[in-house]
Amino acid sequence: MIETRILKPTDATLYEAAATLAAGALVAFPTETVYGLGGDATSDTAVAKIFEAKARPSFNPLISHVPDLDAAFALGNFNKRARAAAEVFWPGPMTLVVQRRENCPISLLASAGLDTIAIRVPAHPLAAELLRTVDRPIAAPSANPSGRVSPTTAEHVLAGLAGKVSIILDGGPCSVGLESTVLDLSGEAPTILRPGAVTAEMLEPLLGPVAAAGASAKIAAPGMLESHYAPALPVRLNAETAEEGELFLGFGEASGPDGAETLSAAGDLTEAAARLFSLLRALDRPGAIGIAVAPIPETGLGVAINDRLRRAAAPRA
C-alpha cells in the first residue's frame, strides 16, 4: 500500500505530479472524458504498475496521452486520414489507433505487443498542462479497477484505487463523462472500436464511411470485453418502470416512480452522458436488488451511452 493524496491543482502540485510521474509512480488526473490512471508510457515498470493497480488483463493495451499533435506524430505513423482527424478533433475526446513508428519509445507492455498504438491529445487544461510539464507520453487507462464503472470525479478514483496511486489531481467533475471515441485508422477502413463523444456522423464528412466494430472488436480492441463499466448490482435496460426492490434511472419522459434519479429530465444526451457514471455509482447501494434504466435513443451520443449501458448489463464473468 502507498499513501494516496488528493491534491487541488496549483503550479506546485502540478509540478509535483509531473515529478512523481517522471520518477515512475502513478498519478490520476482529470481529462474531459474520465479520470485517467497515469504512468510513464516509456517505462515498463510504470506501465506494469498500472496493470497491477487496476487488476487489468495485460492483453488489453493502454492509450498514450501527449500534449500536442507533434508529440503524437513522433509516436505513430499518421496517414492522410489520421492527420485530418487529428487536426480537426484534437485536442478532444478521441483516441486514434495508428501504426507504431519504428523508433517509438512506448513500452511494448503498454501496447500489449501489437504493432499499432493508441494515442490521445486530451483537451482538459489540467491534463494538457501536466503532459507539457512531464514532457513524455503518459499511459492512462480510466482510473478504476478493471471492469468497474469509470471515474468522473477525484472521489470516484479514491474509492477504487486508494493505496494504489500516489497522487490524485482533483479537477472537479469531467465534462463529457464517457471515455473517448477509439477510432482505428491503422488499416484500410476507418473503424470505431469504441463509440464516444466524437461520433460516426461527425467523422464521416472528413473520412468517408466509418465502420462500427461489431463482434470482431473483441480482437481489435481487447478492452472491449463484454462485461465492463459494471456496478455491483445487476442492471436492466429499456425499463419502463422499476420493479419491486429495483432503483430507477430515468431519461426524459420516462421518469419512473417518485423520487427516482434521472440521467436528464429534459432528455438531453450530453447531460445524460456527463451524469451516467456518477449516477450508476450513486444507485449501486446495498438493499436494492437491481438498477432499472429507461430507454435511451440510439442517436448521436446515445450510441456511446447505450454501449456503456449494454456492457454494464452484460452477464458477469
Q: Does 36 bind ligand TXA (CB under 6 A)?
A: yes
Which 166-225 positions form the footprint of ligand TXA (CB under 6 A)?
Answer: 179-180, 182, 193-194, 220-224
Q: CA 150 to CA 147: how far, in whole Å? A: 9
Which span (27-35, 254-262, 275-283, 284-292) binds ligand TXA, by CB under 6 A? Answer: 27-35
Among ligand TXA, Mg ion, none, what does residue 63 contact (CB within 5–8 Å per kind)? Answer: ligand TXA
Query: Rule CB under 6 A: is residue 60 a binding residue for ligand TXA?
Result: yes
Residues whose CB falls within 8 Å of the CB of residue 308, separated by 6 or more in sequence, listed in order: 178, 228, 229, 276, 277
Write down the least CB distance from residue 186 to ligand TXA, Å: 7
Site string for Mg ion, 133-152 (x = CB under 5 A): ---------x----------
Q: Which is nearer to ligand TXA, 200 or 294 (CB)?
A: 200
For ligand TXA, the closer of residues 113 and 257 by Cβ is 113
Restricting to residues 131-160, which ones interact with ligand TXA according to CB under 6 A?
140-142
Residue 189 to residue 187: CA distance in whole angstroms = 6
Give me the least distance between CB of 99 and ligand TXA, in Å please: 10
Mention every residue, 6+ apart, whose C-beta is less than 8 A from residue 135: none
Instruction: Please give the grid coordinates belonging to residue 15.
Output: 509540478
Cβ–Cβ < 8 Å for 221, 195: no
Asked if 309 contacts 269 with a C-beta cutoff of 8 angstroms, the reply is no
267, burial (CB in 10 Å: exposed 0-12, middle 13-18, buried 19+): middle
Note the helical H segments in the chain.
Answer: 11-22, 44-54, 69-73, 80-89, 125-134, 154-161, 200-207, 217-220, 269-283, 302-313
Which H or E run includes 166? none
| Rounded least distance, CB 75 to ligand TXA, Å | 11
Shortest Cβ 176–ligand TXA spacing (Å): 8
CA distances from 121 to 32, 69, 91, 125 (A): 11, 7, 5, 11
Contacted entry of ligand TXA, Mg ion, none for residue 61, CB cut-off 5 to 8 Å set by kind: ligand TXA
Binders of ligand TXA in range 273-312 (CB under 6 A): none
The contact set with Mg ion (CB under 5 A) reads: 142
The contact set with ligand TXA (CB under 6 A) reads: 31, 33-34, 36, 60-63, 95, 97, 111, 114, 116-118, 120, 140-142, 179-180, 182, 193-194, 220-224
